[in-house]
Amino acid sequence: MKGVILHGGAGTRLRPLTHTGPKQLIPVANKPISQYVLEDLIETGIKRIAILLGDIYPEKVKEHYGDGAKFNAEITYISQGEPKGIAHAIHLCKEYIQNEPFTVYLGDNLLKGGIGNYTQTFQDSDFDAMILLCKVENPQRFGVAKFNEQGKLVGLVEKPRQPPSNFALTGIYFLKPIIFEMIEKLKPSWRGELEITEALQLLIEEGYNVGYRVVEGWWKDTGAPEDILEANRLILDELKPQLSGTLEDKDSIQGRVTIEENTTIKQGALIRGPAIIGRNTTIEPQVYIGPYTSIGNSVTIKHGEIENSIIMDDCQINAKERITDSLIASHSKITSRNGKPRARRFILGEGAYVEL
């Protein structure tokens, strides 16, 4: 099998973070979201992978993943440019896929436990396509499955006002090349896109065998800031503690905490896990890092309290403030004048400067 990672989309709900890079490269627990996707495919045994590039700094994607050798994979890049829908992106891979079955994985999706078992199920079946579903509370946001009374999949509808079920399509599809013929029959939807739900619907209507599985554990579509913070919490909940940096006082660590190479936690600081601190970072005395916080590489924190947040690389924080539920992009700087500490919430784009 081959793999396809969709790395496009405008990421409008994540602005200003996506003004300077694609949403799939936003780090969760100090790793780009799409790297979890790539590693999931590789661990499943799928090592020939195409990455579909959008028009938001595609060179950053190529810079991070290269030819795939450092991940033990073979990566091919295909440019989609302007987002015209998932089905459009898939069809661009027709020449790359040729006659092989393949897996399509949205680069901003995370799945607990990965796709290994589902991949094996698809390979052992006679399905022409297989989709992964997840029970959700707000199916109006997603493509939704429709079943008959016997529980057979009979239809799919994109973002319905009145959902026929609360089983949403995850961003993971197992497909055979017949899907390209279905996509060629599509016309743009009201959103101006070629919808994968309509292509799969055509497969069903024309008598092809479309199967499904309901995912076990959690699935996360990281399309909004609150989704990214929740994904960060979910991954940190499974964190295996590791100490590779310098800890001046062992009592500075409580719970499951990872501290990476060349990082120093000064005496008097407190890190309460689950949390991760990246490389070449300094946490000064009197700083408090609370649960569900990811601190990136080459960060300096001189004052402040930070909890349930993601601080990306090369940031500087010197603020006697409490920062919560925040996404702070690389090269940002937060300082404060003397005053009474207050709780602050930020979504800062790359290179932002805030003085409180």
pLDDT band of residue 353 (cuts 50, 70, 90) is: low
Confidence of residue 268 (pLDDT cuts 50, 70, 90): very high
Whether 143 and 248 share a structural domain = no
Q: How sure is the predictor about 137, in pLDDT bands with cuts at 50, 70 and 90?
A: confident
**Banded model confidence at residue 75, pLDDT cuts 50, 70, 90:** very high
- pLDDT at position 343 is 64
**23 Cβ neighbours under 8 A, 6+ residues apart:** 9, 11, 14, 17, 33, 108, 222, 223
Residue 309 in any domain: the answer is yes
Alpha helices by DSSP H, listed for 210-329, are 225-236
Sole residue written with tokens 């896990």: 273
Residue 337 lies in a domain: yes
Look up residue 93 and give its two tokens.
Answer: 């891979």
Q: Is residue 233 part of a domain?
A: no
**Contact criterion met (CB below 8 Å) for 236 and 274:** yes
Domain count, the chain: 2
Q: Same structural domain for residues 218 and 139?
A: yes
Judge whether 230 lies within some domain.
Answer: no
Q: Is there a single domain that holds both residue 183 and residue 315?
A: no
> Which domain covers residue 323, as residue numbers?
242-355
CA distances from 269 to 70, 94, 177, 335, 354 (A): 35, 54, 56, 18, 23
User: Is pLDDT of 35 > 90?
Assistant: yes
Instruction: Find out whether 273 and 29 touch, Cβ atoms under 8 Å.
Output: no
Q: Is residue 132 part of a domain?
A: yes
Q: Quick count: other Cβ atoms within 10 Å of Cβ 314?
A: 19
Q: Which pLDDT belongs to residue 297?
A: 97
Q: What is the pLDDT of residue 13?
A: 73
How confident is the model over 189-201, as pLDDT tens digits? 877 788 898 999 9
- Same domain? For 210 and 140 the reply is yes
Residue 17 has pLDDT above 80, yes or no: no
The residue type of 229 is: L
- Provide the pLDDT for residue 167: 93
Q: 158 and 42 in one domain? A: yes
- Percentage of the residues of the chain whose pLDDT score is greater than 70: 94
188-225: b (≥16 Cβ within 10 Å) or e: eeeeebbbbbbbbbbbbeeebebbbbebeeebbbbbeb
The percentage of residues in the chain with a pLDDT greater than 90, rounded to a whole number, is: 69
Q: What is the CATH number of the domain that holds 105?
A: 3.90.550.10
Separation of alpha carbons 110 and 133, rounded Å: 13
Pick the range with the lowest mean pLDDT from 245-249, 278-282, 296-300. Answer: 245-249
Please provide the DSSP assignment of 33-78 as one string. HHHHHHHHHHHHT--EEEEEEESS-HHHHHHHHTTSGGGTSEEEEE
pLDDT at residue 65 greater than cutoff 60: yes
- Whether residue 342 sits in one domain with residue 268: yes
Q: Indicate the residue among 225, 258, 274 that finishes a domain.
A: 225
Q: Is the pLDDT of residue 124 over 60?
A: yes
Residues 170, 54, single domain; the answer is yes
Q: How confident is the model at residue 175 (pLDDT cuts 50, 70, 90)?
A: very high
Q: Is residue 235, in this structure, part of any structural domain at all?
A: no
Q: Is residue 332 part of a domain?
A: yes
Runs of H (alpha helix) within 170-271? 178-183, 196-205, 225-236
Confirm whether pTM is higher than 0.85: yes
Cα radius of gyration (the chain): 22
CATH number for the domain spanning 321: value is 2.160.10.10
Instruction: Give the tens place of pLDDT for each residue, 80-102.
Output: 877 788 999 999 999 999 999 99
Average pLDDT, the chain: 90
Task: State the pairing for strand pair 102-106/167-175.
Answer: antiparallel
Distance CA 19, CA 27 (A): 15
Is a pLDDT exceeding 70 seen at residue 10?
no
